[in-house]
Amino acid sequence: MTDTAKPINFIQQIISADIESGKTHKVVTRFPPEPNGYLHIGHAKSICLNFGLAELFNGDCHLRFDDTNPEKEDTEYVQAIIEDVRWLGFLWQGEIRYASDYFDQFYQWACDLIDHQKAYVCELNAQQMREYRGTLTEAGKDSPYRNRPAAESRALLEQMKAGSIAEGAMTLRAKIDMASANINMRDPVLYRIKRMAHHRTGDQWNIYPAYDFAHGQEDAIEGVTHSICTLEFTANRPLYNWFIENLAVPTTPQQYEFGRLNLNYTITSKRKLKQLVDEGHVDAWDDPRMPTLSGLRRRGVSASAVRNFCDSLAVAKTDGVVDMAQFEHFIRDDLNNNARRAMCVLKPLLVTLTNYEQDKVEQFAAAAHPQRDDLGERSIAFRQQLYIDRNDFSEDTGLSRKKFKRLVIGDYVRLRSAYIIRADQVVRDSVGEIQEIKASIVPNTVGADAPEGIRARGVIHWVSALDAVDCTINLYDRLFAEAQPDSGDKNFLEHLNPASLKVIQGCKAEASLDNAEVGEHYQFEREGYFCRDGKVSVRLAFNCTIGLRDNWKG
């Protein structure tokens, strides 16, 4: 560790002390997701922490899949997780690792536990096992199979492995302490029969190790020095240590727990997120309203915004709830600094400039970013007809300039990077709806002050009617209208925000946006931050990442 890298949280302090004492020579951490769903914003904190610790202490971080449950795992999830970690900008040491890489070793260790009278094959069914386990206040009682001879348990385990025993008929359990105050130590299950194919090992196995049995041994095999996990695993730590102490593992990792990231106005249960997808409340795991990393990416949130947000969070020994506004602050800050500027009219209203030649066209230069000269300029075509937003026009001449800084009949407004214009006349259709505004330019006002006696109310955005490209805009809001949608006994589905998605078709964007790259970030002036979506059926669509201001305040 460099002299300038001072420990700032308790895990850094522990690692620093381990290095100074000689207990640890090279720091090895790991990010060990289960491939049973997509990663979400809560996982991002763990990713940043584990990879960040390895980087801070010049160590290694492994990417490892804890794929011990074929019932819920899929290669789709594996690939999505790999893509998410890469998107965040992290590189793992060596090849990607899997729990399934070690299935043979796990089985041998299970046999060793049997041989040392520390494991046995149990024939209690799931209901009986719950009854025997006891409660938080009452000790459990021994299984009638607890003292089964080792040779018999070995033979039965072989039959379980060979597929000769029906699913659910037997389990392999550790023999620890049925009276332990920690329920996790009351003879936990090591192996269950699952007669199903695994995404990597196929039909090779009919039994699969429990997560608790596999996890610590994976760490030991890989030489992980500091096994970092969230607080819900605190009660599992004695079991983690028991396996390390009672098996001939090559190294002795240590487990440490920190508070997980809980964000209000969202949920981070993979089971509940999967329910949202399966029941069609969202269109997929990467729906831009989802808190998944793929959803955030599709919405236009940048990896740097996610990392900056995670780096701002405390690494503590307590759980807490972070306000969504804190995350949104980092999203806005990043996009304000890096998103290119462009103009897009969401509710087009035609304006015809009566004192501008019909065939004339001018090209006006506009900065791609007001503070980023390195991003250069873009060229905007200006012609006789253009579109402004309907919300930027009013017939009410009594509106004060302070209250309405837009176009009013008989008054002036400046078009961004172009002329000052005056609204002269309203054209209506047969039912009285405004169809067009007749207006006139004030000559010599491009990049120049208005002549004496003329004062523009404000500045509005616009696009050339002939050059504009049609697009669809997806306006997103928070998926839930309730801050804690799944707390207590709440049904989170009852708190879905009905206004979380609004699709606006027939929008008009400046011509440069026709060549926007998928995922490229833009600030649509006076509207918000957007990125091009590559997954929709229409040719050109933009997702609203976030508004220019927080509309949830107060």
- CATH at 133: 3.40.50.620
Q: Which residues pair with 210 in a beta bridge?
A: none
Q: Do the beta carbons of residue 373 and residue 351 sit within 8 Å?
A: no
Query: Tokens standing for 239?
Result: 């079991």
**472: phi then psi, degrees, rounded to nearest 5:** -110, 135
C-alpha atoms less than 13 angstroms from C-alpha of 409 in its C-beta half-sphere: 12
Helix, strand, or coil here: 76?
A: helix
One domain for residues 211 and 358: no
* 161-200 pLDDT, tens digit each: 999 999 999 999 999 999 999 999 999 999 999 999 999 9
Please give the DSSP secondary-structure letter assigned to residue 479: S
* Three-point CA angle 67, 68, 72, nearest 5°: 75
One domain for residues 291 and 327: yes
Q: What is the pLDDT of residue 195?
A: 95
Q: Is 7 left (phi over 0), alpha (psi -120 to 50) or beta?
A: beta
One domain for residues 30 and 126: yes
Q: What mean pLDDT is predicted for residues 411-431?
A: 96
What is the percentage of the chain residues whose pLDDT exceeds 90?
94
The closest of 438, 379, 445 to 410, measured between CA atoms, is 438
One domain for residues 366 and 228: no
One domain for residues 444 and 484: no
Give residue 214's identity as a one-letter amino acid code.
A
> What is the Cα–Cα distance from 192 to 133, expressed in whole angstroms?
17
Would residue 97 count as lying in a domain?
A: yes
Q: Which position has the token pair 């348990």?
A: 153
One domain for residues 44 and 112: yes
Would residue 551 count as lying in a domain?
A: no
pTM recorded for the entire structure: 0.94
Burial code (b: 16+ CB inside 10 Å, e: under 16) for 97-108 equals: bbbbbbbeebbe
* 231-243 pLDDT, tens digit each: 999 999 999 999 9
**385: phi then psi, degrees, rounded to nearest 5:** -110, 140
CATH number at residue 406: 2.40.240.10
Give residue 71's identity as a one-letter amino acid code.
E
Query: Tokens standing for 150?
Result: 């080792």
Q: What mean pLDDT is predicted for residues 122-138?
A: 96
> What is the Cα–Cα distance from 61 to 225, expressed in whole angstroms?
10
Q: What is the pLDDT of residue 3?
A: 46
Residue 279 has pLDDT above 80, yes or no: yes
* 381-397 pLDDT, tens digit each: 999 999 999 999 999 98
Would residue 553 count as lying in a domain?
A: no
Query: Tokens standing for 517?
Result: 């790259």
Longest dimension (CA), the chain: 103
One domain for residues 45 and 148: yes
The closest of 412, 475, 486 to 443, measured between CA atoms, is 412
Name the domain boundary from 405, 439, 461. Answer: 461
Q: What is the pLDDT of residue 554?
A: 42
Q: What is the pLDDT of residue 7?
A: 56
Lowest model confidence (mean pLDDT) among 110-124, 139-153, 424-438, 525-539 = 525-539
Q: What is the pLDDT of residue 448?
A: 94
Would residue 466 count as lying in a domain?
A: no
> What is the Cα–Cα distance from 148 to 58, expressed in whole angstroms?
49
One domain for residues 417 and 478: no
One domain for residues 138 and 154: yes
Name the domain boundary from 235, 258, 281. Answer: 258
Name the domain boundary from 258, 275, 303. Answer: 258
Domain count of the chain?
A: 3
Q: What is the pLDDT of residue 538?
A: 83
- If you write DSSP's letter for every residue of 55-73 in order, what string do you get? HHTT-EEEEEE----TTT-
Would residue 537 count as lying in a domain?
A: yes
| Residue 379 CA from chain centroid, whole number | 35
Q: What is the pLDDT of residue 320?
A: 85
pLDDT, the chain, mean: 95
One domain for residues 331 and 421: no
Q: What is the pLDDT of residue 142?
A: 98
One domain for residues 61 and 183: yes
> What is the Cα–Cα distance from 477 to 493, expressed in whole angstroms?
16
Would residue 5 count as lying in a domain?
A: no
CATH number at residue 329: 1.10.1160.10
Would residue 113 count as lying in a domain?
A: yes
Q: Which position has the token pair 């970030």?
A: 521
Q: What mean pLDDT is predicted for residues 89-93?
A: 98
Query: Tokens standing for 274?
Result: 């999967």
* Three-point CA angle 159, 36, 85, nearest 5°: 125
Give residue 241's identity as a one-letter amino acid code.
N
At 6, the pLDDT band (50, 70, 90 cuts) reads: low
At 549, the pLDDT band (50, 70, 90 cuts) reads: confident
Q: Domain residues for 387?
A: 347-461
C-alpha atoms less than 13 angstroms from C-alpha of 428 in its C-beta half-sphere: 5
Q: How many CB atoms lie within 10 A of CB 374?
A: 7
Please give the DSSP secondary-structure letter assigned to residue 259: P
At 137, the pLDDT band (50, 70, 90 cuts) reads: very high
Q: Do the beta carbons of residue 276 and residue 282 sit within 8 Å?
A: yes
One domain for residues 395 and 513: no
* 20-38 pLDDT, tens digit each: 999 999 999 999 999 999 9
Would residue 417 count as lying in a domain?
A: yes
> What is the Cα–Cα distance from 511 to 509, expressed in whole angstroms?
6
Q: Which residues are catalytic?
A: 34, 260, 270
C-alpha atoms less than 13 angstroms from C-alpha of 365 in its C-beta half-sphere: 6
